Structure 1
Amino acid sequence: MTITYEWRGDVDDGALNALHAGGFGGAVGMVDWRGRLERHSLGWVCARDGGELVGFVNVAWDGGVHAFLLDTVVAERCRGDGVGTSLVRLAAEGSRAAGCQWLHVDFEEHLRAFYVDACGFRTTAAGLIAL
């Protein structure tokens, strides 16, 4: 397995919808990822094994100094091989290069070891309203 990574890589909606469904559960959606990313994102990182999309992370932003990780996902067969941490590292590098000073992420408790221990995030107080 040789994984390649690309900041703002070409996104195939079908491949990303399938990867997202596999990572987050549920049916394969029909999201227009390319349109969504172009409208709302600073960038994104794609991980590929050969031509197959095996990892993805979206970096949304406020247009200033704050960037936000969303939709971090790695194909099940590639988990535990450092793909996720590489996605996050490259997302941080792309955000820093764009002039961002902060990279935020929200996560469920079972992902604490990944984001805090493996990726180096520190915990902060935050709030959330379910809409």
Structure 2
Amino acid sequence: MTVEHTWRGGFDNAELNALHARGFGYEPGDADVWGRVNDHSLGWVCARLGGELVGFVNVVWDGGVHAFVLDTVTDPRHRRAGIGTALVRLAAERARGAGCRWLHVDFEAHLDAFYLRACGFAPTRAGLIAL
């Protein structure tokens, strides 16, 4: 089967909340992700394998030249198959097509190989305030 990656693909809250729970290792919640992405995002990419949601990334933006990758997740059963890299690649293409000049991402050190090598991000200095 081929994984289909779709810009602004359809999903329901239950399936995305379940994917986030599997991918990030917590109990499923009931967040209204559909409402959130429609209110705040430039777009998002869904990855489906045989109709099942196996990957997702959200792209928020400032309405100008900066876009931000959030919540990149691949189902643990399908990792290391290129799904996440393809999610980010399509997100970058669409952000570029919308006139963005920069695509930002924050990530933990154990994801260096994914974001820096597989996806092509350059390391930068950044700051963060935990609220």
TM-score of the two chains, using structure 2 as the length reference: 0.98
**How far does the alpha carbon of each residue in 1:78-107 deviate from its partner, in whole angstroms, 9 at most, with x for none?**
100000000000000010111100000000
Unaligned runs of 5+ in 2: none
Match of 1:23 in 2: 23
Residue 11 (structure 1) shift = 1.7
Aligned counterparts of 2:62 and 2:55: Cα–Cα separation in 1? 24
Aligned counterparts of 2:11 and 2:97: Cα–Cα separation in 1? 21
* Number of residues of Structure 1 aligned to a counterpart in Structure 2: 131
Query: How many percent of aligned residue pairs carry the same amino acid?
Result: 68
The list of structure 1 runs, each at least 4 consecutive aligned residues, that deviate by more than 4 angstroms after superposition, is none
Match of 1:51 in 2: 51
SS at the partner of 2:54? Answer: strand
TM-score of the two chains, using structure 1 as the length reference: 0.98
Residue 77 (structure 1) shift = 1.2
Give the aligned CA root-mean-square deviation in angstroms. 0.6
Match of 1:40 in 2: 40
Amino acid of the residue matched to residue 61 of structure 2?
Answer: W
1:1-131 alignment, distance < 5 Å = 1-131=1-131
Aligned counterparts of 2:26 and 2:76: Cα–Cα separation in 1? 15
Unaligned runs of 5+ in 1: none
Residue 26 (structure 1) shift = 1.2
